[in-house]
Structure 1
Amino acid sequence: MQTVVLAAGEGTRMRPLTASRPKPMVPVADRPLVAHTIDAAVDAGASHLVLVVGYEADAVRSYFGDHYRGVPVTFAVQTEQRGTADAVRVAAAELDDGPFVVLNGDALYDTPSLTRLYESGPAVGSYRVDNPSSYGVLVTDGDGSDGGGIRVTGVIEKPAEPPSNLINTGAYHFPSEAQAWLDVGESERGELELTDVLERTCDAFDVRAIPFERWLDVGRPWELLAANEWKLDELSPRVDGTVADDAVLEGPVVVEAGARVRSGVVIEGPALIREHATVGPNAYVRGATVVGEEAKVGHAVEVKNSILMEGATVGHLSYVGDSVLGRDVNFGAGTKVANLRHDGADVKLTVKGERVATGRRKLGVVVGDGVKTGINASLNAGVVLSEGSHVAPGEVVTRDR
């Protein structure tokens, strides 16, 4: 099945982590986010991949090349981000006649559910959530008792009064005819929306909602933590690097080639220690944690449920919890991250200039590439540090920088 993967967006809601890289290339466990999407697509039956690229397109091109896992890859460039229908219209020049699947490159899909989407007729992936008013909600006819899935008649974007809790996952199986329906008008948001193509498909075909057992839209920094929690749970323990005799590895822990786990370290998985990373001595790593390539966790440091990207360093006697650290971040010795509000409420984080409830009781900091903290710095829960910013020794940071 020919498959279009949308990977052109800037990822402004994921800033500062996307200040110098496209959101689909943000790392999740051992590979970029979009690679998890594409791996699921290949496993489900993708025979030709068309990747729509735009912002920082070369990063996507260089990772996937012209073949990925034996499947041909072509690229279509969306020079202006005008919406999802426009992205697929750009990709249509690379498609043959016949049905096609469209997937969001910044979402995780479980492979069995995605396989059912590929093997169906015209369809849309669906998922049930507690807060459907934040999503596109599917309008349906019937209960799916005929065994073919619930019939979809339309979609309503972010309704104040949702007709159901069944939402659109951004995964579509379109008939060949839909290639001629991609020239749509602007929506109220000023974008060319693929949901308009879905509406027309519903008018002409019997479109079914394929229930997804698991799905995650990875649009904001704390959802990146959730994505890592998902994918690290799939790890099989493996040690290809060097582990000291008195280090303790518990649960699913992967130590990649060239990585070094030094004396006195305790790692409670799921955890991934990437190539040429160093942990310890006497460090404690727990929860769903990734220590990225060439990253360093120093003496007596505790890291819990966090992501340290390539080249990040956490100096000795520091604590990092439920946080995301960008490339080449350097936390000075004694830097402490708070990850819990004293009132027990959900931690809020700034997204596109607005403080947003994350739904997470525990959340530390989000730190852009190249940030440096001085010794004994303290960072409050929900603080965002922009790319390249500095924190003075002993400083207590309670607001974004």
Structure 2
Amino acid sequence: TAFSYHVDVDKPWHILQANHLVIEEMRERLEEDHIHPSAKVHDGAEIQGRLVLGADAVIGNRVMVEGDLWLGPGASVTNGAILEGPAVIGRETQVQHYCLIGSHSSLGAQGVYSHGAEFSGVALERVYCYHYCEIWGVVGQAVDFGAATVCGNLRFDDGPTVWRVKGRRETPVFGANAAYFGDFCRTGVNAIIMPGRRIGVYACVGPGVLAYEDVPDRTLVTAEQTLRTRTWGPEQYGW
């Protein structure tokens, strides 16, 4: 049966748009669970959708699945993870330790999403998202997010980010305020990525950087700070 849509994927936000449409089509066609005999679902998991589980896939205790879920071979969702669903998770990817995966997300193979991280969007394989990260957008291959990396996705004016594509201004109708990360890029701890920013291939956003602008390929951005030192001791507290 032919799909009922077409997306010309030539700009970054088209990936999010196409992903959303594909997952919706998959959801509409899914009529029942398809669970491999070697897959495991813990009795303590709360499932509110249909499941498609590959070989050796695992859904563990305290997990909440709030929509349909496609879980690849060897992938696991364990220890309090929350999936808003529908969601697609690739082979051998680990989703665990009370992280949150947003609706209509696709996670590539062999990724790690753990310990209070929040992710929504599309990620390719071997992405590492841990320790209180908050990411929405498109993430390339083998991206490594430092602890507490945050994407600012809401502007103070509540409006969409206006992009510049080959010198021409354009306002995306889908994913204008998302962040876009090229393959093999990295962020340091507490990096902040502002709405609609693009981080290039092999780029690095250093610890504590507030990225208001795009970061080109193979570029390291670090923060400068001014430090003051003076004497200090318990007498400062009046003891």
| TM-score, length basis structure 1 | 0.45
Give the one of 288, 297, 301 matched to 2:113.
297
Give a deviation string over 1:154-175, Cα, whole Å, max 9, x none.
xxxxxxxxxxxxxxxxxxxxxx
Aligned residues: 190
Matched residue, 2:123: 308
Q: How does 1:222-237 map to 2 (within 5 A)?
A: 222-233=13-24, 234-235=26-27, 236=30, 237=51
Distance (Å, rounded) in 1 between the aligned partners of 2:115 and 2:169: 35
Q: What secondary structure sits across from 2:13 in the alignment?
A: helix
Q: What does 1:253-272 align with in structure 2 at a 5 Å threshold?
A: 253-272=69-88
Q: Which string of whole-angstrom CA distances, capped at 9 and with x for unpartnered residues, describes residues 130-152 of structure 1?
A: xxxxxxxxxxxxxxxxxxxxxxx
Aligned partner of 1:248 in structure 2 is 64
TM-superposed CA distance for 1:383, in Å, is 0.5
**1:349 to 1:367, Cα distance in 2 relative to 1, 3 A:** farther
Aligned with residue 196 of structure 2, among 368, 372, 382: 382
What residue is the counterpart of 1:334 in the other structure?
Answer: 148
Q: Which residue of 1 aligns with 2:42?
A: none
Hey, which bits of structure 1, 4+ residues long, moved more than 3 A?
Answer: 352-355
Counterpart contact for 1:340–1:347, Cα < 8 Å: no
Asked if the contact 2:186/2:205 (under 8 Å) is kept, the reply is yes
Preserved contact between residue 162 and residue 176 of structure 2 (Cα < 8 Å):
no
Q: 1:244-280, CA deviations, whole angstroms, 9 ceiling, x for partnerless residues?
A: 1211112111111111112010101110111011112
Distance 2:14 2:142 in 1: 22
Equivalence for 1:218: 9
Q: Which amino acid aligns with 2:98?
A: N
Distance 1:317 1:350 in 2: 31
Q: Which has the larger radius of gyration?
A: 1
RMSD between superposed Cα atoms in Å? 1.7
Cα distance change of structure 1 residues 262 and 329 upon mapping to structure 2, 3 Å threshold: same
Aligned twin of 1:394:
208
Matches of 1:298 and 1:313 in 2, distance apart?
A: 9
Cα distance in 1 for partners of 2:207, 2:146 equals 8
More strand by share: 1
Unaligned runs of 5+ residues in structure 1 are 1-42, 45-108, 111-213
* 8 Å CA contact retained: 1:315, 1:330: no
Matches of 2:80 and 2:117 in 1, distance apart?
11
Change beyond 3 A, Cα 1:355–1:316: farther
Q: Tell me: CA distance 1:361–1:294, structure 2 relative to 1, closer, same or farther (3 Å).
A: closer
Aligned to 1:216, what secondary structure does the other structure show? Answer: coil
Return the structure number with greater helix share: 1
Q: Distance in 2 between matches of 1:297 and 1:330?
A: 11
Runs (5+) with no aligned partner, structure 2: 31-50, 216-239
Determine the C-alpha separation between the residues in 2 that align with 1:228 and 1:389: 25
Question: Does the CA-based 8 Å contact 1:309-1:327 persist in structure 2?
Answer: yes
Q: Identity of aligned pairs, percent?
A: 27
Q: CA deviation at 1:378?
A: 0.2
Query: What pairs up with 1:18-29 in 2 under 5 angstroms?
Result: none
- Deviation, structure 1 residue 354: 4.4
Cα 1:218/1:242, change in 2 over 3 Å: same
1:277-300 Cα distance to aligned partner (Å, 9 max, x none) = 111211111211011101111210
What is the alpha-carbon distance in structure 2 between the residues aligned to residue 381 and residue 353 of structure 1?
19
The answer as to whether partners of 1:344 and 1:361 remain within 8 angstroms in 2 is no
User: Post-superposition shift, 1:316?
Assistant: 1.2
Q: Does 1:324 align with 2:115?
A: no
Q: Could you say what secondary structure the match of 1:366 adopts?
A: strand
- Contact 1:349 1:384 (8 Å CA) reproduced: no
Read off the aligned partner of 2:93 and give its amino acid letter.
A
Answering whether residue 113 of structure 2 is matched by residue 288 of structure 1, we say: no
In 2: Cα distance, 1:291 partner to 1:362 partner: 20
